[in-house]
């Protein structure tokens, strides 16, 4: 049944790639493999890197990968871009920049893009991170674009979330207020070679004063590799703090709760849709009948969900 899991545990990259494709396509076989891998997960440090398009996330990830490899850590990278298909420009760009690392067996890089329904992306990303964890990667870097709801969801997967901002944009600060602040464990003010970096840092500090969170701010020039050492030191220190207290288990529990609810929802939905199908009712036909006011969604749901 689970032919891939043992190979994943041995670090077989072809098995890893194949399992990730099954996860992407929401194939039922993926679940059995993930179940077999589950006891072997929970070792890796998951780091989310998020921020607006062009903030320099990929450049930072690239620098962090190089730094971690010099420390003999193995690294997994998931580049999540819900807006572009697999062959999209941004991801292709990432691939080109990451090419050096692609030849290094200590690094596994993959792009993720939305396929299918809402919530599918964060679920697939979470599952792929588990696979990297099971294959033995020490650090998993998850790059997400933007600061929308999807990204907040994905950030919840991470132990440590770095929000990358660039100098001189009030808009960015607005977007941060809109939700990412609650998931930020650390700010990277990148492109500090540009005017206004200190101003941005002051703005962030003022904003953070209104919360009771302890959030470090690190100045970087990713394109020149400046600030990467300090950024990593802060990321690692955040994780060590989590590990030495109840924080890590709390995060794992929150994540497990989200996953459990998602799995349950998918499972129950399938049961209900299958039951309707057995009764000869397809979703589209039912929707049409509802639209014609021949029935209503509540009655159909009651019928389908009767246990
Ligand atoms: N001046 C300056 N440019 C930088 C710096 N870091 C990255 N860049 C440039 O900014 C551009 C965008 O960098 P990326 O790393 O692709 O940014 P990103 O956030 O991954 O972009 P998306 O994935 O498209 O959202 C590139 O041209 C980088 O070379 C920096 O510190 N200073
Ligand atoms: Mg990028």
pLDDT exceeds cutoff 90 at 116: no
Whether the CB-CB separation of 150 and 122 falls below 8 Å is answered with yes
Question: Cα–Cα distance between 91 and 11 in angstroms, integer?
Answer: 24
pLDDT level of residue 177 (50, 70, 90 thresholds): low
pLDDT exceeds cutoff 70 at 35: yes
Please give the distance, rounded to the nearest whole angstrom, from the Cα atom of residue 61 to the centre of ligand 2.
Answer: 9
Measured from the CB, is residue 58 less than 6 Å from ligand 1? yes
pLDDT value, residue 85 = 46
Helix (H) or strand (E) holding 122: helix 120-134
Query: Measuring from atom 14 of ligand 1, which residue has the nearest CA?
Result: 56
Average pLDDT score, the chain: 86
CATH topology of domain 41-244: Rossmann fold (3.40.50)
Phi, psi angle pair for 74, to nearest 5°: -90, 150
The domains of the chain are located at: 1-40, 41-244, 258-305
Instruction: Tell me whether residue 95 is exposed, middle or buried, using C-beta atoms within 10 angstroms of its C-beta: 0 to 12, 13 to 18, 19 or more.
Output: middle
Whether the CB-CB separation of 161 and 80 falls below 8 Å is answered with no
Please give the distance, rounded to the nearest whole angstrom, from the Cα atom of residue 31 to the centre of ligand 1.
Answer: 36
Please name every residue paired with 49 in a beta bridge, in sequence order, or none if there are none.
143, 162
What is the rounded average pLDDT of the residues 194-210? Answer: 89
Question: Cα–Cα distance between 95 and 79 in angstroms, integer?
Answer: 10
For residues 269 and 139, the model is more confident at 139
Query: Measuring from atom 29 of ligand 1, which residue has the nearest CA?
Result: 223
Mutational pocket test of ligand 1: of 49, 59, 79, the residue with most ligand atoms within 8 Å of the beta carbon? 59
Please give the distance, rounded to the nearest whole angstrom, from the Cα atom of residue 54 to the centre of ligand 2.
Answer: 7
Please name every residue paired with 139 in a beta bridge, in sequence order, or none if there are none.
45, 75
Question: Cα–Cα distance between 153 and 110 in angstroms, integer?
Answer: 19
What is the rounded average pLDDT of the residues 166-184? Answer: 71
Return residues with CB closer than 5 A to ligand 2 (ion). 57-58
State the sign of the Cα–Cα–Cα–Cα dihedral 231, 232, 235, 238: negative
Question: Cα–Cα distance between 154 and 149 in angstroms, integer?
Answer: 9
Measured from the CB, is residue 144 less than 6 Å from ligand 1? no
Measured from the CB, is residue 231 less than 6 Å from ligand 1? no
For residues 176 and 206, the model is more confident at 206
For residues 91 and 42, the model is more confident at 42
């Amino acid at each position: 049944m689970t032919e891939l899991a043992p190979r994943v545990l041995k670090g077989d990259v072809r098995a890893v790639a194949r399992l990730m494709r099954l996860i992407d396509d929401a194939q039922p076989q993926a679940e059995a493999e993930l179940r077999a891998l589950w006891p072997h997960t929970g070792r890796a440090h998951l780091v989310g890197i998020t921020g607006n398009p062009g903030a320099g996330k990929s450049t930072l990830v690239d620098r962090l990968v190089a730094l971690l490899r010099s420390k003999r850590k193995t690294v997994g990278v998931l580049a999540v871009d819900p807006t572009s298909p697999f062959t999209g420009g941004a991801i292709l760009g990432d691939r080109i920049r990451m090419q050096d690392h692609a030849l290094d067996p200590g690094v596994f890089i993959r792009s993720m893009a939305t396929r299918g329904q809402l919530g599918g992306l964060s679920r697939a990303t979470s599952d792929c991170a588990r696979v990297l964890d099971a294959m033995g990667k020490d650090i998993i870097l998850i790059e997400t674009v933007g600061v929308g709801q999807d990204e907040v969801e994905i950030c919840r997967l991470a132990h440590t979330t770095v929000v990358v901002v660039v100098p001189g944009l009030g808009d960015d600060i607005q977007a941060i207020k809109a939700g990412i602040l609650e998931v930020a464990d650390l700010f990277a003010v990148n492109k500090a070679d540009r005017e206004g970096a200190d101003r941005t840092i002051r703005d962030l500090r003022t904003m953070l004063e209104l919360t009771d969170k302890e959030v470090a701010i690190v100045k970087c020039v990713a394109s020149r590799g400046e600030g990467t050492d300090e950024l990593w030191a802060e990321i690692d220190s955040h994780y060590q703090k989590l590990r030495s207290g109840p924080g890590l288990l709390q995060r794992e529990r929150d994540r497990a709760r989200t996953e459990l609810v998602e799995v349950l929802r998918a499972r129950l939905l399938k049961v209900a849709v299958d039951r309707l199908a057995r009764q000869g009712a397809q979703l589209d036909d039912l929707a049409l009948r509802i639209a014609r006011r021949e029935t209503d969604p509540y009655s159909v749901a009651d019928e389908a969900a009767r246990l």
